[in-house]
């Protein structure tokens, strides 16, 4: 993974600033978001996983998402949020993974409802959904 990250950073040729924000994305947007014309949040699914690892109950996740989206709206530029579609694959055999997949789908729906545009990217092709 370290090699993949290094190669990805090299491909950007210093044109991007990268911030590792495991949990408090809303705070980052509030403090730093106005400095940039474009912000790419990559990725929503990993953020959700980090929230869960921090012990945030599933019932509190919609509030966390709402707070993040409100902070992102206050950023001056364009915000692109990348996420994973987990519901198109095999149904996981264990309950915890199924619950995470369901929660990720709910988070994706919440973000899509708020978003100005929604695009699905698959196999190098994109489809505008909204």
Q: Using alpha carbons only, how large is the chain's radius of gyration in Å?
A: 15
CATH code of the domain occupying 11-128: 3.40.50.300
Structure confidence by residue, pLDDT tens digits, 114-127? 999 999 999 999 99
Which stretch of DSSP H or E encloses residue 129? none
Q: Where are the domains of the chain?
A: 11-128
pLDDT, one tens digit per residue, over 40-53 is 999 999 999 999 99
DSSP letters for 12-30: HTT-------SS-HHHHHH
Catalytic residue (one of 1, 3, 7, 8)? 8
The pLDDT tens digits along the chain (130 residues) read 889 888 877 887 777 888 999 999 999 999 999 999 999 999 999 999 999 999 999 999 999 999 999 999 999 899 999 999 999 989 999 999 999 999 999 999 999 999 999 999 999 999 999 9
Is 119 a catalytic site residue? no
């Amino acid at each position: 993974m370290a090699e993949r990250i290094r190669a990805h950073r090299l491909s950007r040729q210093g044109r991007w600033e990268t911030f590792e924000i495991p949990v408090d994305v809303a705070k980052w947007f509030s403090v730093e978001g106005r400095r940039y014309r474009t912000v790419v949040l990559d990725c929503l699914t990993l953020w959700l996983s980090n929230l869960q690892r921090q012990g945030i109950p599933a019932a509190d996740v919609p509030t966390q998402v709402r707070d993040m989206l409100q902070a992102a709206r206050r950023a001056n530029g364009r915000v692109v949020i990348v996420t994973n579609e987990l519901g198109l694959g095999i149904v996981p055999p264990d309950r915890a993974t199924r619950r995470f997949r369901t929660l990720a789908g709910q988070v994706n729906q919440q973000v899509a409802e708020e978003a100005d545009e929604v695009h699905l990217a698959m196999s190098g092709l994109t489809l505008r959904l909204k």
